[in-house]
Amino acid sequence: MSIAALCSDRVLLNDWHVIADLTNLSAHEPFQTRLLGVDLTVYCRGRYNKEVVRNDTGALVNATKRYGFLWACLGKPERDIVFVPEAEEEDRYLLTGGSIAVKVSGLRTVENFLDMGHFPFVHTGWLGEEPHTEVAPYKVELTAADELVATECKFYQPVASPTAKEGFVVDYIYKVIRPYTVALYKSNPVQKERLDVITLFVQPVDEENCVAHPFLCYLKDGSDEAGIRNFMQLIFAQDKPILENQLPRRLPLDPRAETPIRADAVAVLYRRWLRDKSVTYGAIPARM
Amino acid sequence: MITLYDYELSGNCYKLRLLMGMLGIEWKTVPVDFYPGREHKSDWFLKINPLGQLPVIDDDGLILRDAQAILVYLASKYDASGSWYPRDNPALLGEISQWLAFADGITGTASAARLHDALFYDFDVEAARAGAHRLFRILDEHLWFGEQEGRSWICSAAQPTIADIACFPYIMLSEEGGIPRQDYPAIRRWCDRVKRIKGFSVMSGVFPAGPAKAA
């Protein structure tokens, strides 16, 4: 592991982050992980059968379970874990999608998740294919809840989901909920008026490493759990080598650092939104 | 029809998808929730394979486990050209078996490092990486000397064999385990040759090669 810088961003220190899929934790072996540069050990013991301990000080860290994940907050939790309304709907599978470690800043992982332009090239034959490469203009706005929402996103996808039988133009909505949390709503291929939801909780391991923890709320109609997880991992593992070859590994927030195009509107606003929130961890701050 | 019990991110499952694609065999897939569901250790799956490992195929009631064994079976049964596993050439069969065992060594090292880095397996990653580099060095030399003799593939045959298929996936995926291939130019050239075999398919993390330069 790289030498980890510690985080001083309050907005991150005082927020909840996923640190493990509960199914990956064993009753016998403590689980080692890292959050915001702090090494942590997870023990299956104590009153709630999960204890998270800082390796440096031995102190207990705030921890709780939700959506099939173990969550931790290094500071004082200032707000609750992100609420996923679709998780209350009974006709959906609620699945952890398979946590995968990626050697890049979590902010880069969020930004990649927001990008449709790469679909035909990285997810060829699944989420896109040539010659359908154009990203049509879409809307992006900052909501009253301080979330970034991109709507009217449309993209032709040959195999849009585990149950898709043919290509179709898929409607997408993206929502950036927290600096390291992003959600995607996309048309279900069976019930086209309803949306499947993938919420990606990204664990900032350190500034240049993250774990992507997808939480899947998929309509049960016509699908099965293994197929849904398989599809999620197939797609994410296509992104992984691309992400791991991005340089610099941290996300540059300076508007002059990289050259965006119209299709990157949501990424441009995401970077600005991070600047406005003074998020620096995992980023290369803008020059003054 | 062949049923493949499959996990998308498994290089061992990919070996079979790769060969079946090249042989033009049709198959259907049963996705197994390997991660995080550990379905390969579930009761129903242990009845199919008591070792709790993927891949497994079911070909008309014949159930086979072990990627290398299944490659032998598929090539013997379905390759009309007889070039992938030439049953009438004892010396070549010996060579192939030798490299199939080598492929298992790659799984035990390069694949283990990848599982450690990406999926949190509790392995000694430094030992796994060192082991993979040792094997890659041996294979790189072998391929380099082969190229000097006009040989393109791992075994002494004019055509690729199942040894090439068995070694390919976890070499291609090695960077995900922190094992770069810069120092193995003959391996890199061989990887591109494998990618240009007719019927080649990708898996997540493996990208197609561009067209070969005209000689």
Judge whether B84 is closer than 8 Å to chain A, CB to CB: no
Q: How far A145 CA lies from chain B's nearest CA (Å)?
A: 33
Report chain B's C-alpha Rg in angstroms: 17
**B103-136 pLDDT tens trace:** 999 999 999 999 999 999 999 999 999 999 999 9
**Buried b or exposed e, range A5-35, using 16+ CB within 10 angstroms:** eebebebbbebbbbbbbbebbeeeeebebbb
**Chain B: residue nearest A241 by CA?**
B205
Judge whether B122 is closer than 8 Å to chain A, CB to CB: yes
Q: Which residues of B touch A41 (CB under 8 A)?
A: none
Q: Identify which of B32, B118, B204 has the shortest CB distance to residue A226.
A: B32
Place of tokens 């593992």: A237
> Which residues are within 8 A (CB) of A38 and not within 5 positions of it... i.e. 6 or more apart?
A4, A6, A54, A55, A56, A74
Q: What is the pTM of this model?
A: 0.94
- Whether residues B36 and A100 touch (CB distance < 8 A) is answered with no
- Predicted pLDDT at B211: 74
| Nearest in space to B3 (alpha carbons), one of B70, B66, B57 | B57
- Predicted pLDDT at B214: 63
Mean pLDDT along residues B72-101: 97
What CA–CA distance (Å, rounded) separates A197 from A84?
9
Residue B213 pLDDT exceeds 80: no
Q: Identify which of A24, A29, A238 has the shortest CB distance to residue B36.
A: A24
How many contacts (CB atoms, under 8 Å) link A and B? 66
**B24-36 pLDDT tens trace:** 999 999 999 999 9
Residue B197 — very low, low, confident or very high, per pLDDT cuts 50/70/90?
very high
- Predicted pLDDT at B215: 54
Q: Which residues of B touch A98 (CB under 8 A)?
A: 35-36, 119
- C-alpha A11: how far from its chain's center? 17
- Predicted pLDDT at A203: 98
Backbone angles phi, psi at B65, to 5 degrees: -120, 170
Judge whether B8 is closer than 8 Å to chain A, CB to CB: yes
Q: What is the mean pLDDT of chain B?
A: 96
Q: How far B86 CA lies from chain A's nearest CA (Å)?
A: 34
- Predicted pLDDT at A223: 87
- Whether residues A241 and B207 touch (CB distance < 8 A) is answered with yes
pLDDT tens track, chain A, 288 positions: 445 578 999 999 999 999 999 999 988 899 999 999 999 999 998 888 899 999 999 999 999 999 999 999 999 999 999 999 999 999 999 999 999 999 999 999 999 999 999 999 999 999 999 999 999 999 999 999 999 999 999 999 999 988 888 998 999 999 999 999 999 999 888 888 899 999 999 999 999 999 999 999 999 998 899 999 999 999 999 999 999 999 999 999 998 888 888 888 999 999 999 999 999 999 999 876
Q: Which residues of B touch A100 (CB under 8 A)?
A: 118-119
- The domains found in chain B, sorted by start residue, are 2-78 (3.40.30.10), 90-195 (1.20.1050.10)
Superfamily of domain A85-284: Naphthalene 1,2-dioxygenase Alpha Subunit; Chain A, domain 1 (3.90.380.10)
- Whether residues A100 and B119 touch (CB distance < 8 A) is answered with yes
Q: How far B139 CA lies from chain A's nearest CA (Å)?
A: 24
Residue B56 — very low, low, confident or very high, per pLDDT cuts 50/70/90?
very high
CB-based contact A71:A241 (threshold 8 Å):
no
CATH number of this structure's domain A10-73, picked from the four choices 1.10.8.50, 3.30.70.1150, 2.20.25.680, 3.40.50.2000 = 2.20.25.680
- Whether residues B37 and A23 touch (CB distance < 8 A) is answered with yes
- Predicted pLDDT at A263: 86
Q: Delimit the domains of chain A by residue range.
A: 10-73, 85-284
Q: Which residues of A touch B207 (CB under 8 A)?
A: 241
Element (H, E) at B65: strand B62-65
Q: Which residues of A touch B33 (CB under 8 A)?
A: 225-226, 229-230
User: Tokens in use for B146?
Assistant: 């082969």
Helices (H), chain B: 11-23, 43-48, 67-78, 90-106, 112-119, 125-148, 162-172, 185-195
- Predicted pLDDT at A4: 59
Q: How far A91 CA lies from chain B's nearest CA (Å)?
A: 20
Mean pLDDT along residues B152-176: 98
**Buried b or exposed e, range B144-183, using 16+ CB within 10 angstroms:** eebeeeeebbbbebeebbbbbbbbbbbbbbbbbbbbebee
| Nearest in space to A196 (alpha carbons), one of A86, A66, A68, A82 | A86
**Chain B: residue nearest A212 by CA?**
B118
Q: Which residues of B touch A29 (CB under 8 A)?
A: 122
